[in-house]
Structure 1
Amino acid sequence: MDTFFISHGSPRLLISDKPARHFLESWKSKHLQVTPKAILVISAHWETTEPAVNIINGVNDTIYDFYNFPKHLYELKYPAPGAPELAKRVKELLQEAGYNSVEEDKSRGLDHGAWVPLILMYPEANIPVCQLSVQSHRDGTYHYNIGKALAPLRDEGVLIFGSGSATHNLRLLDHDNVVTPSWAVEFDNWLTESLLNGRYTHTSLSMILFLIQLP
């Protein structure tokens, strides 16, 4: 099973006619034909001091962790089943790798970093999903080792994807302009070059997913 970084953009993606939406809608037909056993989402929208997994028995709640968007977006639901077995497996792998303080959150549902792309990728909401939090205050070595610890999940039929955006400044975005701002292009190019050349100094969620795929 491959791993991916999904740049989900703003929640408006669900009501827009953007290339990213069409990409996610064609996910099963063009990009990953194999159905995952379960899905682990590492969302930039869940930050904790120590790693945490949500262990949900039953249906995941839909978290609306965004503000001042169209009312319709707050009425959407993504009732995917929880993945408690996967969550416990994630905790086990992290603890084996030396991350002794892995918290269990038994009430947190899916934030929009998870359900916004998933509602387009797997609209049936029938694949178990759990989330792993991020520690944005930690360095590259810390996240490198998280990637190494989670790598065995690829051989267990688990789809792992990181969710967020390489850049995130919604106030500077012009939603009517199809041209990507120069500052976003420059940073994206820098991030790509840094990852490909092994400069893991940037604590980026995309870095975790890149490292999981290393041999």
Structure 2
Amino acid sequence: MDIPAHPEAVYDRFMTEQAPASRNRRRWTPADGPMPALYLSHGSPALFEDALWMKELFGWAQALPKPTAILIVSAHWESAPLALSASGPGTSLVYDFGGFARRYFEMTYETPDAGALAAQVAALMPDDEPVHQHTHRGLDHGAWVPLKTMYPYADVPVLQMSLPTVHAPARLIDIGRRLRALREEGVLVIGSGFMTHGVPFLTRDQFVHNVVPDWSAEFDAWAADALSRGDVETLANYRSQAPALHFAHPTVEHYMPLFVTLGAAANPEPTVQTTIEGYRFGLSKRSFQTP
């Protein structure tokens, strides 16, 4: 996919042509049953210049009832002990990127108060997993960029939770398991990463023209197979079983939010529903929801 001649206009067209449908999306009710848990590949502000990717994310949100709130774990906030972002209305944004148009550093996403959700999350954690509330920490781009596409009018309370480890899938699965009860109240639990993230190893052709490197395709195929079988054990043993790991994930923070999502699934070995496939910048956009 080549860069469009006027990349910033893509987002403006989205807001004019697609986003208004979000206003009329019906709200979740108990009759809908638990909301799914999501793992999504989130991208940088370049997402706002990709009409297909925005259409995919927005269509995914539109296929679900509008949640009562959103709890999102992003690859871009590693913090232990477990931490929560500011929960007041109009939470600020973290512009943790560089090299993009000025307008992306001026965007806002003023969501409603998420204080009730923050209290629920803290209450769900065990005594040996204390929760720290950051009263001034905003939403980073792994949270607000995809959510600004999925829920463009910021009409759902949003709370971000830190990624407390990138070395212990079992711990993240357990955290996700404790969050499972939130789904029954209409809360959308999201792990936000990128199925492959070997940015240092991309060539110019791969990055600019979306040429898929072998290592990205190999890791994606391995993950897709394990996910299709609900094989959480294989996914958790990625260091010994995943192909091309060094290239696909030279650091693994974009892979690890997947385990929070899998932990929040109703089934401990969930067969997931893949919602987005394909590649951007040569990286896998694979995203899915759990039953």
- Residue equivalent to 2:259: 207
* 8 Å CA contact 2:69, 2:188 repeated in 1: yes
* 8 Å CA contact 1:42, 1:131 repeated in 2: yes
Q: Structure 1 CA distance, aligned partners of 2:257 and 2:166?
A: 12
- Residue equivalent to 2:29: none
Q: 1:35 to 1:104 in 2, by over 3 A?
A: same
Give CA-to-partner distance per residue, 1:48-87, whole Å, 9 cap, x none: 0211112422211011011222222112111112411101
- Residue pairs, 1:28-47, within 5 angstroms: 28-29=61-62, 31-32=63-64, 34-47=65-78
TM-score between both structures, scaled by the size of structure 2? 0.67
Give CA-to-partner distance per residue, 1:188-208, whole Å, 9 cap, x none: 222334453232234721122
Give CA-to-partner distance per residue, 1:103-139, whole Å, 9 cap, x none: 1111111111111011111111111100110023441
* 8 Å CA contact 2:86, 2:138 repeated in 1: no
- Residue equivalent to 2:50: 16
1:185 is the counterpart of 2:235: no
TM-score between both structures, scaled by the size of structure 1? 0.89
Q: Structure 2 CA distance, aligned partners of 1:67 and 1:43?
A: 18
Q: Structure 1 CA distance, aligned partners of 2:133 and 2:98?
A: 27
- Residue pairs, 1:119-138, within 5 angstroms: 119-138=148-167
Q: Identify the match of residue 72 of structure 1 among 89, 92, 103.
A: 103
Q: 1:100 to 1:170 in 2, by over 3 A?
A: closer
* 8 Å CA contact 1:139, 1:201 repeated in 2: no
Q: Which amino acid aligns with 1:16?
A: D
* 8 Å CA contact 2:72, 2:191 repeated in 1: yes
- Residue equivalent to 2:38: 4
Q: Identify the match of residue 147 of structure 1 among 151, 173, 176.
A: 176
1:162 is the counterpart of 2:195: no
- Secondary structure at the counterpart of residue 52 of structure 1: strand
- Residue equivalent to 2:249: none
Tell which has more relative contact order, 1 or 2 (C-alpha 8 A, sep 6+): 1
- Secondary structure at the counterpart of residue 77 of structure 2: strand
- Secondary structure at the counterpart of residue 218 of structure 2: helix
1:11 deviation in Å? 1.7
Q: Structure 2 CA distance, aligned partners of 1:3 and 1:190?
A: 21
- Secondary structure at the counterpart of residue 212 of structure 2: coil
1:143 deviation in Å? 1.2
- Secondary structure at the counterpart of residue 176 of structure 1: helix
Q: 1:68 to 1:137 in 2, by over 3 A?
A: same
Q: Identify the match of residue 104 of structure 1 among 119, 133, 158.
A: 133
How many residues are matched?
A: 210
Q: Which amino acid aligns with 1:128?
A: P
Q: Structure 2 CA distance, aligned partners of 1:108 and 1:42?
A: 14
Q: Where does structure 2 lack aligned partners over 5 or more consecutive residues?
A: 1-34, 239-254, 268-291
- Secondary structure at the counterpart of residue 148 of structure 1: helix
Q: Which amino acid aligns with 1:67?
A: G
* 8 Å CA contact 1:56, 1:106 repeated in 2: yes
Greater Cα radius of gyration, structure 1 or 2: 2
